[in-house]
Chains A and B, each alone.
Chain A
Amino acid sequence: MNLQIENLGDIVVIGLREERLDAHNSTDLKSQMLNLLETGHTHLVVDLQDVRFVDSSGLGALVSGFKNATARNGALKLSSLQPQVQSMFELTRLHRVFEIFPNIDLAAASFQG
């Protein structure tokens, strides 16, 4: 999976540089998030700007990251969802679970509060 990882202070931004997040690549994302969490990076932002399509496996990987971050007293937040991806979160009611921000800067700033 094509990922771009960037540090903003103690926040790690995972940029998914893929058009699709599905059963083919979601396991890679899950592993990457777990690696970051296990090495002490517990404040994560997953940026979905390039993602046009997400299926239930992709949602499951993000849920896994969210649960693992929360279990370590951290947080996983999402940024830059395209409308069709946002609609998937609404369909599965996960928009009530995740903190979702319009861009990376707002997501990162939310950790300061």
Chain B
Amino acid sequence: MKKNTPKGQVSKLHSGDIISGKWHRNEYSIIRELGSGATGTVYLASGKGGKVAVKTGHDSMAIISEVNVLKHFSRVQGKILGPSLIDVDDYVTGGQQVPFYVMEYLKGDSLFQFMKNHSEEWAGILLVQLLTDLSMLHRAGWVFGDLKPDNLLVVGPPSRIRWIDVGGTTQIGRSIKEYTEFFDRGYWSLGTRKAEPSYDLFSACMIMVNLAFPSRFEKKKDGRQQLKEVIRSSPLLTNYQSILLKGLYGKYQSAEEMRNDLVSSLNNKGRSKVSAPSQTTSGASGRSAHKKVKKKKKRAMMFETVLLGSFLFIVYLFYLISQTM
């Protein structure tokens, strides 16, 4: 226990510092700090193969746990979900052994930066992408856990959401390793902290809520009612009201199910916007909008038939002319 008890400060690394691995003898030259969290600090560094992200931390147990998760990620078949793991080692500084690991460096915008420069419908699209990845992760037997904007990045082009910090990733059936209150259904009294797909879906919904309310808010007495009212109060969120409420209340069994609902709502939204721009999405008027859409659709189909017919007629005319020549 001697070596792990002092939660002793690992002194910060600075630009130009070189750390070299005790076991694998790889060297990394620090470029700058990328961010720092509960378990350690992430630096941008250059290694043999170019730019990488290096994470060091005082809590060696937490660091090893994260490495284990990243290793499992690389075992998930097909697409890479998290950043890929490059190296795991220790460096020695001032007689102290500091664990670190090296991962792929992902470059991109934070969720908030990205949304500042892009139109609102991107929020729904990013959520669809996130749900696609979640469904793969869940099928592999894991739950992300600490899902929040800080742990996500939008890379590209083409713009694609990626997760960068996998410290909270937990095997399904266990208790969530790490969470952030605002995104935690336990905090809102809307469920347990058991790792199951619906835990992530709750957090995914709260990411949308956070996009609409960047400064977040605290829980009042009745979390269930409060979140409902919050969603109704925001134009960005009312678009997805029924899906978000289902996600928050744990009604979705899988990420696919929620993703499919979201995709079809995004499709429909686009259509109704073209045909009935003045319509808003409240119950009764929503239905009449739907009818209008249908009518317009019929008219559009007739128009298409006429167009196609005349096109064929012209082709036929040409044919006749060419025959008579």
| A and B found bound together | no
Which A residues are within 8 Å of any B CB, using their own CB? none
B positions within 8 Å CB-CB of A: none
